[in-house]
Structure 1
Amino acid sequence: MKKADIKILLVDDEPDILEIVGYNLKIEGYKIFTAKNGLEAVESAKKHNPHLIILDIMMPEMDGIEACEKIRATKGLENVLITFFTARGEDYSQMAGFDVGADDYITKPIKPKVLVSKIKALLRRIKNAQTTTLVDDGKVKVGEIIIDREEYVIIKDGAKLSLPRKEFELFSLLASKPDKVFKRDDILDKVWGNEVVVGGRTIDVHIRKLREKIGDQYFKTVKGVGYKFVIDED
């Protein structure tokens, strides 16, 4: 997808941020729409169907958390990428954002060049989603890795790697949506369910084993939140 075809909705109640961030994204070639509160954000999202929404949390009329929830409940916008703008130290807001369906968060203040880099990384999820394909019955290809769900085998560089059941299920979950941050509670629920977990470090131990077997570069820690699977960090 060409940059000129990518639509980004920027939402913030501070005019300076809309102007500065919007300008830096426009010169990158993206098509930018803006809104100054949550109500405008919801309406603009419905009208323009953006690929990415950058959403401030503390805003008048309707805050970012509620706006995100309404956008996610709108038909056709269920899978739009949403990242929150959060002030440093807003841990509760970050967690609340993930609870209502945010894909990521960006901490401000942030330098324009760093922001553009983060936006590019987020937009890679669109490309990465296109690299996840069904090979045949029971097999899914994610990037250059094939997941065989029937045999609980990972095929990487032509070699088969057998994984213990929980490691395989954890890898399959993370790889199902490359670059999406999975919260620790969601991982425990989807992989372990009602099973008794020995301790809070269970996920960390399994991630460490996956890093050793598949490659450290594929697994990224989001401090205080969870983990994500990354296909390409370029």
Structure 2
Amino acid sequence: MRVLIVEDHEELARTLAAGLGREGMAVDVALDGAAALYRAAIHDYDVVVLDRDLPVVHGDEVCRSLAADGHAARVLMLTAAGTVADRVAGLGLGADDYLAKPFAFAELVARIRALGRRSHTALPPVLVHGELELDTARRAATRGGRRLELSPKEFAVLELLLSARGAVVSAERLLEKGWDEASDPFTQSVKVTVSRLRRKLGDPPLIETVPQAGYRI
């Protein structure tokens, strides 16, 4: 899942990004509203975590612009003001969810994952292909009852491939959704991650390489 954190308090933004990264998400950070709109225009985010009180371009305007431009990303609005009127106003701007500061990190993670599931065609929380099961809520994978010890990137790639339901997923798409903007677009990270994932999944092989197209389950 690709997430954009828009928060002008840099230390908080970096802390949240690091925490979400440990949860297996690919996270970018924008410190003002203009930077947020720029990143949203060039990256395909699943969820935007948007602080309401932003410099340069206010969070309300960012939210309004994302909704008006038809972005598929779901917006989770953050604010220090947690009154009912504030929540109603934020949702009225096009936000999909609202979380008042201070908040528990575990709740933030849960809300982001719930919104991420809503940003695509409805999928069950447990993705199944034969003996392979991927529990996206519990972040657990098994094959034939055997637990698979997957890294966050391996889990993300497997989730993307299973979500495609047999369709081919390009390496570029995997890189876009599974890695943050600091990643080198010419990196071999996707190829290496798929190779490691294949070994962990075992036999018979589940991931097929489609020449000049990508990968599929």
- Give the TM-score, by structure 1 length: 0.49
Aligned to 1:66: 61
> Is the CA contact 1:7–1:31 (under 8 Å) kept in the aligned structure 2?
yes
Q: Which of 94, 98, 102 matches 1:101?
A: 94
Match of 1:30 among 4, 25, 28: 25
Structural mapping, 1:1-234, within 5 Å: 6-75=1-70, 77=71, 79-126=72-119, 129-130=122-123
Query: 2:137 maps to what in 1?
Result: none
Q: CA deviation at 1:45?
A: 0.5
Q: Deviations over 1:71-106 (max 9, x none)?
A: 11225x1x3211101214344332222112111111
Residue by residue over 1:159-218, the C-alpha shift from the partner in whole angstroms, topping out at 9 and shown as x without a partner, is xxxxxxxxxxxxxxxxxxxxxxxxxxxxxxxxxxxxxxxxxxxxxxxxxxxxxxxxxxxx
Instruction: Note closer, same or farther for the CA distance 1:61–1:90 as it changes in structure 2 (3 Å cut).
Output: farther
**In structure 2, distance between residues paired with 1:36 and 1:91:** 26
In 1, distance between residues paired with 2:115 and 2:16? 16
Larger Rg: 1
1:86–1:94 Cα contact (<8 Å) kept: no
Contact 2:74 / 2:96 at 8 angstroms: preserved in 1?
yes
Structure 2 Cα separation of the partners of residues 113 and 122 of structure 1: 14
Post-superposition offset of 1:20: 1.2
Tell me, what secondary structure is at the counterpart of 1:9?
strand
- Give, in angstroms, the shift of residue 114 of structure 1: 2.7
User: Structure with the greater relative contact order (CA < 8 A, sep ≥ 6): 1 or 2?
Assistant: 2
Deviation at 1:38, TM superposition (A): 1.1
Q: Compared with structure 1, are the counterparts of its residues 66 and 127 closer, same or farther at alpha carbon in structure 2 (3 Å cutoff)?
A: closer
> Number of matched residues?
124
SS at 1:82 equivalent: strand
Contact map agreement 1:57 1:93 (CA 8 A) in 2: no
Shift of 1:115: 1.9
User: For structure 1, which runs of at least 5 residues remain unmatched after alignment?
Assistant: 1-5, 132-234
Q: Are the counterparts in 1 of residues 7 and 13 from structure 2 also a CA contact under 8 Å?
A: yes
* Aligned residues with identical type, % of pairs: 31
Q: Secondary structure, in 3 states, of the residue corresponding to 1:129?
A: coil
TM-score in terms of structure 2 length = 0.52
Describe the shift of the 1:95–1:82 C-alpha distance in structure 2 as closer, same or farther (beyond 3 A). same
Describe the shift of the 1:127–1:61 C-alpha distance in structure 2 as closer, same or farther (beyond 3 A): closer
| SS of equivalent to 1:20 | helix
Runs of 4+ in 1 over 4 A off after TM superposition: none
